[in-house]
Structure 1
Amino acid sequence: MNRRPLLATALAAVLLACGAALPAAAQTFPSKPIQMVVSAPPGSAPDVIARLLADQYRTRLGQPVVVENRPGAGGIIAVNAMKDAPTDGHRLLFAQAAVAVVTPFTYKEARYDMLRDFEPVSALASTPMLFVANPASGPKTWQDAVEQTRTRPQKLSLGNPTRTSIPHLAGELVDARSGGRFQHVPMSNTGQGLQAVVNGDTQMYVDGVAPLLPMVKAGRLRALAVTADRELPGLEGIALAKNVVPGTIVSGWFVLFAPKGTPQPVLEKLNTAAHESMHAPEVVAKMRELGNYPMGGSLHDAQTFVARERAMWSDVIRRANIVAE
């Protein structure tokens, strides 16, 4: 008896059943509360944005979303908390840029690859970096600052909140693209960095826009350039860094990830809800207060974005001779 037709029929039936199960999974998802691991402490900007998304998800997906804060070790603790997570979409990781594409190259203990181990669900929000100067001792314009780094390398001091933070790497990127060289001065936190530039201990400082704009508006700091790709609401009149140093479009950002192997229909459902959530008027207004701007887009957009950022920052880290610690 020829068993091949029977085996082929059985295999076809199995494949058909699996194919039918995928749309069914999306229809029944979520079937229980969703857990969202956040790589930042309660009350921080990432936590606030994660909770905005959680509230929107609860309304749009019909299930509660429990935010689980796991800060520390450059995000390694949060990523480890996702180890062995089920691939059904009910446990997600909310990660900022440094966790996703910097820590893997700067921490020896980081043994993860976000594109190998996770599925990018949605690029949620971003905040550009702002270069500011002490009004008395710092350069007057962004053009002036860049020229100083070229003619007098490592003489113009540029503070940043911490070593290997996105602001620090933004300064290193400017060096790489301009041919100049700042004297990079990592601090222990944003507060210390702000105090140093206000006091004149450093001539310049770079960080996300939110903590800097109030001091710019008060006249205590001079805004030199923002690393956005275009003029953004609330940042009108500030020079774009890319107009003097091409290729210096930089942001701190937040991306939602699911474990590798999560069914495509579930990812699509999460992505659609995330895109709609980040563009809800009340969410946009709250993020603006935090200096963040909505992103969104498709699953492919999210994957392409993370891959591009990973390539850019790994190259900057290599060129700056930053070694993993």
Structure 2
Amino acid sequence: MLALLGALALTAVRAEAQTAAPAWPQRQVTVIVPFTAGGTTDLFARIFTQAMQQKYGTAFVVENRAGAGGTVGATAAARAPKDGYTLFVGTASTHAIAPYVYKSLNYDADRDFQPVSLFATLPNMLVVSNQIPARTMSEFVAYAKANPGKLNYGSSGIGASNHIPAEIISNLIGTPMTHIPFRSSNEIMNALVGGHIHLAFDNITFALPQSQGGTVRAIAVTSKERSPTAPEIPAIAETFPGFDIGTWHGLFAPAGAPRAVVDQVAADVKEIFSRPDVVAKLKEIGAVAAPNTPDAFTAFSRSERERYRVIVREARIEPQ
């Protein structure tokens, strides 16, 4: 009887605690995306928010805050309330590259964020205007060397994951190229198709369909190995051994967000990005679903910052 009473009392305490601390979410959750709508980062965010809204019956709203290679949105997320009702889709640009290409950031990529989970990884793809005669990496290198200072390339801004590969290649072949920043991959592709820029190292998500449609020409992917989605396209590493400049997208919360919420959302990300239809959809666009735990994502983010610290230094990119 005493044991039964004790168990009942414990149950009552637990019920009271649950009543005192309602389950998350109780109201709208805002997911900040640091790039424009319709881009790769936005795509991952909407896969996540749509699934979460269906599960919880609560609004999950994407808020696009583009600018400065993603750092405008990252700054807004870092300053948001730490209550679990603001989340952020970070990338290699915002959390691994930006600390080394900007003289001053209004956020600390490590201190101001709590990693939740990776979404996916994917390579960039070197694509050129059809005005450029090169069809292979070797032909591109030869053409660039024969036209020093005449080529320009588009990116999403200084420090973006589609900016760094161009600077590295420029240094490797010893030929300067002019950087022209845009706000989004859509703008980059429109400029490339229109012949306003000569090349781009953009996400395979946008570059591959354009190359398949013949409006631009795919030369190589920036990952260490060929992409399973487009195995016919060589990797730059086949010409420059060791070259490996892919990108990734993942979910963060402002540092200090309740750990219970962080763990709950991480479990949701794992479930969503393990669904066969989601995995298949990502594979179609050249991405690999890669959900993990908050601790694993924290370790991954830190290792990526260290990797890009070396890459940026060796590429001789001066902080802006």
Does 2:29 align with 1:32?
Answer: no
Residue in structure 2 matched with residue 12 of structure 1 by the alignment: none
> Displacement, 1:294?
1.8
> Displacement, 1:44?
3.5
Partners of 2:83 and 2:196 lie apart in 1 by: 53
For the residue of structure 1 that corresponds to 2:123, the secondary structure is: strand
Partners of 1:99 and 1:80 lie apart in 2 by: 10
Does 2:153 align with 1:159?
Answer: yes
Letter in 2 for 1:101: A
For the residue of structure 2 that corresponds to 1:256, the secondary structure is: strand
Residue in structure 1 matched with residue 272 of structure 2 by the alignment: 277
TM-score, length-normalised on structure 2?
0.76
Residue in structure 1 matched with residue 119 of structure 2 by the alignment: 124
Identity %: 25
Residue in structure 2 matched with residue 16 of structure 1 by the alignment: none
Name structure 1 gaps, 5 residues minimum: 1-19
Residue in structure 1 matched with residue 173 of structure 2 by the alignment: 180
For the residue of structure 1 that corresponds to 2:162, the secondary structure is: helix
Give the 5 Å matches for 1:9-28: none
2:202 to 207, 212, 216: 207
For the residue of structure 2 that corresponds to 1:323, the secondary structure is: coil
Residue in structure 2 matched with residue 110 of structure 1 by the alignment: 105
2:253 to 241, 244, 258: 258
Partners of 1:48 and 1:288 lie apart in 2 by: 13
Going from structure 1 to structure 2, the CA distance change for 1:71 and 1:133 (only over 3 Å counts) comes to closer
Letter in 2 for 1:132: V
Partners of 1:58 and 1:273 lie apart in 2 by: 11
Letter in 2 for 1:209: I
Does 2:136 align with 1:141?
Answer: yes
Going from structure 1 to structure 2, the CA distance change for 1:66 and 1:140 (only over 3 Å counts) comes to closer
Partners of 2:256 and 2:196 lie apart in 1 by: 52
For the residue of structure 1 that corresponds to 2:35, the secondary structure is: coil
| Contact 1:198/1:221 (<8 A) preserved | no
Partners of 1:304 and 1:91 lie apart in 2 by: 22
Partners of 1:42 and 1:193 lie apart in 2 by: 15
TM-score, length-normalised on structure 1?
0.75
Letter in 2 for 1:295: A
Letter in 2 for 1:75: G
Partners of 2:244 and 2:315 lie apart in 1 by: 18
Deviates most, 282-291 or 38-47: 282-291
> Displacement, 1:121?
0.7
> Displacement, 1:226?
0.9
Going from structure 1 to structure 2, the CA distance change for 1:183 and 1:91 (only over 3 Å counts) comes to same
Name structure 2 gaps, 5 residues minimum: 1-13
1:317 to 309, 312, 315: 312
For the residue of structure 1 that corresponds to 2:90, the secondary structure is: strand
> Displacement, 1:152?
7.0
Give the 5 Å matches for 1:49-64: 49-60=44-55, 63-64=58-59
Deviates most, 286-295 or 241-250: 286-295
Partners of 1:135 and 1:43 lie apart in 2 by: 24
Partners of 2:46 and 2:111 lie apart in 1 by: 27
> Displacement, 1:196?
5.1
